[in-house]
A and B are shown apart, each in its own frame.
Chain A
Amino acid sequence: MAAGMQRIAINSGGGYVPGLNAVVTGAVLAAHNLGWEIVGIRDGYDGLMVDDNAPDGGLINLSPQIVENLGGAGGSILGTAARNDPFRMRTINADNFVQEVDRSDELLQKIRTKKIDAVISIVGGSALTGAHALSVAFKLSRKGLRTVCIPKSVENDVAATALSFGFNSALGYTTETLEHIRTAARDVHRIAVVEVLGQQAGWLALQSGMAVCADVVLIPEIPYDLRKAAAKLREDEKAGRRPSLVVVAEGATPKTGDASPTDKSQNLQGHGLRKSLSPLSDPLFGEGARVIERSGLAAETVALQLQRLTDHATLPIVLGQMVRGGGPTAVDRQLGLGYGAGAVRALENDQTGVMVAFQPPDLKFVPLAETINKVRTVPASGEFVQIARALGISLGD
């Protein structure tokens, strides 16, 4: 039993996902039942750190009355901070220079001053995708903050949990939209190439593509060869099925046959000083790097090439960030309430530095050290991939 726990806080870092209020509601109701006060910190930790944005002190007093109707609503009562980091806070110093300063000690002091005994943080996906919130929570935990994290991700790429909050809602919205797009594309004899979120993990593309029986699904875990995808589309057409829908995760990449980079770098001995000063002087610097230059590039690239290969008019469409909006599905409502209440239960059981993880049929508390630096990706020979193949969906390989 947590000794002396009287007042806790909850905040959200990383990007937005549908229905965050369900998590807040779960935590508030569970804390209330234990007789604990609970406050929300606005916009990650900005509520405590950025005075300009905090006319009410940056804290929201949360009660069962306040969250009574939040569970089903879209939006977030807390707000979120996608990139802000108390360890590198952008500050303007006395010389009017912008600089990034470690203000984590100041944050911890403010948390103590506000008599907050522990913080529940709703955190984003993998470190690879630039979601710093989990790493920030890990670092704050190492500095002594009692903290429990809750995984959220529309890409379902957080390790150690089978289901991140927000994924099911995004999947539902994506599936519904794909169905609309496919119908329209088929009617006008075009192939829609729809880009969905998924830099490292292709769950959203694969599962939504399966749900609508897309013709082709391209995911980051399986490098694609569009000639094979085009051949499949031609076969379908011969069999009387008009191709109409290709789903591509934004991080999907073509198969390549690059030589090893070390072989190439040996040709650069003559660059001497320039090369030692900056790799940018290296003409091969960054060659072949997988950079998502902007949203829509994957759809545009695949659409253009498929048009050449199939002689069908293609239509690139980007769903992108749109799927982050809206309210939660029934599954996410339950999951969110469960995650919120589970985080309070973790604190009640004196757990700290852990993430609440859904490992069916249980909610478990996983040390943060076991969740960072990992990405939950689609196993290339796993059950979902096999089902997709059984449904006749080409994965471009």
Chain B
Amino acid sequence: MLITVKLFANFRVGRFVVEVRDYPAGTAIKAVSGSLGLASQEIGMTMLNGRHAEPERVLKDGDVLAFFPLLGGG
């Protein structure tokens, strides 16, 4: 199934801004972030089709996923 993955801030460095990627049916969000080398403690927010989503959520063909890093500095 094809998943559109969008990355933000430092997640883009050495990766991409947006890419359509092929994953097997039944893939969960956390498997996608894992495949990109995004450590779970680095992720601040995950959005699936414009809504907040949990890492365990299973994806379906055509989904749009966005990963935002945790920014905490001031």
Indicate whether A and B interact. no
- Interface residues of A, Cβ cutoff 8 Å to B: none
- Interface residues of B, Cβ cutoff 8 Å to A: none
